[in-house]
Amino acid sequence: MAMDPFSQLILTISVTSFLTFQWLFHRVSPWISIRISPGFLQLSDKQRVEWNSRTVSTFHALLVGLFCLHILVFDDAVNENPVWGDPTLVKINVAITTGYLISDLLLIFYYWKAIGDKFFVVHHLAALYAYYYVLGQGMLPYFANFRLLAEFSTPCVNQRWFFEVLGYPKSSRPNMVNGVAMAMVFFMVRVAVMPVYYGRMYAVYGTEAFYLVPWGGRVAWICSSICLDIMNIMWMHKIARGCYKVLRAAQRSKSGAPQENGKAD
């Protein structure tokens, strides 16, 4: 069966995305990092692998996150019919993410000693399973796109690691500013949006459009959303505690009070 032109385009975007993110990891990130941060040269081989991985992750998060925001604000077809609305732009965005996830999985397996993580493998495979229904059958475009909003928290999380590996004290101003920004952005794009997301899910539950979604699609949609949000709430609690401890330590330091021993997570 011949593939229609748009499906060919989506496949081409996914393959191009994969190759681009491989190129960014192996060539662009090391070249830029040496020029922007002299500390990059002092890192171990394992740290450089993770550095390049996180650099690529940040680029992907900003690219896909901004595209996602544009769709959420301006794509009326998807917003009016969240289950079966015209998925053209969402498919393009998801195709970019699909290429990135496959690229990142390959790097995780190849550099397992440096960046291997069973959780990320499960996360990537689960995401690819869910994206199959979006790319293959064009269903649930609003919900797939909405989930990508979470990418906006990734740059701050990565920056926290960059500061740590470069030796910035947790009480340093850049670290504290990034920590507060990370907590605020994480809350906004992963926790505060939950009522909106589940409100739309509840609104379509039981409708004709809902029952047209096959069981596999419903499992990928509902179960993965609930599991992911349980993890998001746990992470938010951990981030908030860590942010509070660092800010309190900085405040005690300013006031001249003795600091408590402890490490903020």
* 107 is a domain residue: yes
* 263 is a domain residue: no
* 233 is a domain residue: yes
Residue 187 has pLDDT above 80, yes or no: yes
- Taking residues 115-122, report their average pLDDT: 90
Q: What is the pLDDT of residues 22-37, one digit of tens each?
A: 999 999 999 999 999 9
What average pLDDT does the structure give for the chain?
Answer: 91
* 48 is a domain residue: yes
Q: What is the pLDDT of residues 253-264, one digit of tens each?
A: 776 655 444 444
Write down the pTM of the prediction.
0.89
* 261 is a domain residue: no
* 260 is a domain residue: no
Number of domains in the chain: 1
Q: What is the pLDDT of residues 235-255, one digit of tens each?
A: 999 999 988 888 887 777 776
For 102, the domain range is 5-252
* 45 is a domain residue: yes
* 101 is a domain residue: yes
Q: Three-state secondary structure along the chain?
A: CCCCHHHHHHHHHHHHHHHHHHHHHHHHHHHHHHHHCHHHHHCCHHHHHHHHHHHHHHHHHHHHHHHHHHHHHHCHHHHHCCCCCCCHHHHHHHHHHHHHHHHHHHHHHHCHHHHCCHHHHHHHHHHHHHHHHHHHHCCCHHHHHHHHHHHHHHHHHHHHHHHHHCCCCCCCHHHHHHHHHHHHHHHHHHHCCHHHHHHHHHHHCCCHHHHCCCHHHHHHHHHHHHHHHHHHHHHHHHHHHHHHHHHHHHHHHHHCCCCCCCCCC
Which pLDDT does position 257 carry in this prediction? 54
Please give the share of the chain, as a percent, with pLDDT higher than 70.
95
